A = this chain, B = another copy of it.
Amino acid sequence: MAREQFQTLTEPMYYILLALTRECCGVDIMERVRQISGGRIKVGPGTLYAMLSKFEENNVIKKTTETGRRKSYIITETGIQMLKDEYERLKAMIRDGEDNIDF
């Protein structure tokens, strides 16, 4: 399991996982997503915390430390594989686009 769900990542999911290639807590992730995307993407708390739960359940990320209320996470091997798959999917979409329209 864990790979049945999330066959295709949404944009917020993709950036959350990208942020978690370094250990981060929730608010750090929001900040890092903004940085990584050059300000293009902003993930709201509703999306973020819902996804953190779901990702942890599915071993896509794992909790590292929990000091007080602050919980930090990092991506797992499974999560990295998901990012790679997503990267390939994006490439495929671009290729299929280029084959059918002049961009």
Query: Residues on A close to B: CB < 8 A?
Result: 8, 11, 14-15, 18, 21, 36-38, 40, 80, 83-84, 86-87, 89-94, 96-97, 99-101, 103
- A14 to B8, alpha carbons, bound, how many Å? 14
Label chain A's interface by main secondary structure: helix
CB of A39, distance to nearest CB on chain B (Å): 11
Residues of the B chain whose Cβ atoms lie less than 8 Å from the Cβ of A86: 97
B83 & A21 in contact (Cβ 8 Å cutoff): no
Chain B residue with the shortest CB-CB distance to A95: B38
A11 & B8 in contact (Cβ 8 Å cutoff): yes
- A101 to B74, alpha carbons, bound, how many Å? 13
A97 & B40 in contact (Cβ 8 Å cutoff): no
A14-B93, A18-B97, A90-B90 are known contacts; what are 12 more A-B pairs with Cβ within 8 Å?
A8-B11, A14-B97, A15-B96, A18-B96, A18-B100, A36-B99, A37-B96, A38-B96, A80-B101, A83-B97, A87-B97, A90-B93
